[in-house]
Amino acid sequence: MIASIKIVEGPVWRYYNCPDPQWAEKCSSCRRQISAEPAVCVECVNCWKVEIWKHGKAFYQVDFDRLMDRVHLISDAPVIAKASRAPIQVVRTGVPDTGYPDLVIDDLLVLYARSIAGREALRRLVQVSLGLSREAADLIPVRRGCWRFDPVLGPWQSWYPVDSDWPEIH
């Protein structure tokens, strides 16, 4: 691993470039808001995840540390991500659904973005880092918000127009 990538080891996840104060507060705020009032909020809508499954359809057997090194080298900002430390259940809630592995459990690397443009920039970083075609990179599943909130808020595709970010006032 490149020395400038901050890594924190947890019991379930390996975090890259974490802790990140903006993401830590965003996740805490989202959980608090949904616990207090089960409604979609800006933190949900402007939270995009790019799901890199180890045996995804766009590639075969990705080494997450090596991928994060490559992404870090070509990115102009730290990429916030986490990787499962062991195989986890494949939750098929992103799009396209054809990009998921055919396995019941697999290893997962999740890259985080705050906007649709950021999400697509991450996909392109992965594309370049892995030497994928554009078509293969488009098979990498993405989703908005946390899948655990789908039972409370409904499917993430119904939260807000899927091709729009919630405008934030700065």
Mean per-residue pLDDT for 145-156? 92
Q: How confident is the model at residue 169 (pLDDT cuts 50, 70, 90)?
A: low
| Token output for 29 | 């705020």
Nearest to 30 by CA among 49, 50, 45: 45
Segments making up each domain of the chain, as ranges: 7-158
CA 103 to chain centre: 19
Residue 74: Cβ within 10 Å count: 11
- Give the pLDDT of residue 155: 94
Q: How much is the mean pLDDT over the chain?
A: 91
Q: Residue 2 pLDDT > 80, yes or no?
A: no
- Give the pLDDT of residue 24: 67
25-49 pLDDT tens trace: 777 788 888 999 999 988 889 999 9
Q: How far apart are CA 127 and CA 121, in angstroms?
A: 10
- Give the pLDDT of residue 20: 75
42-83 pLDDT tens trace: 888 999 999 999 999 998 889 999 999 999 999 998 899 999
- Give the pLDDT of residue 156: 94
**Size of the chain in residues:** 170
Mean per-residue pLDDT for 14-30? 80
CA 20 to chain centre: 15
Q: Residue 90 pLDDT > 80, yes or no?
A: yes
- Give the pLDDT of residue 43: 86
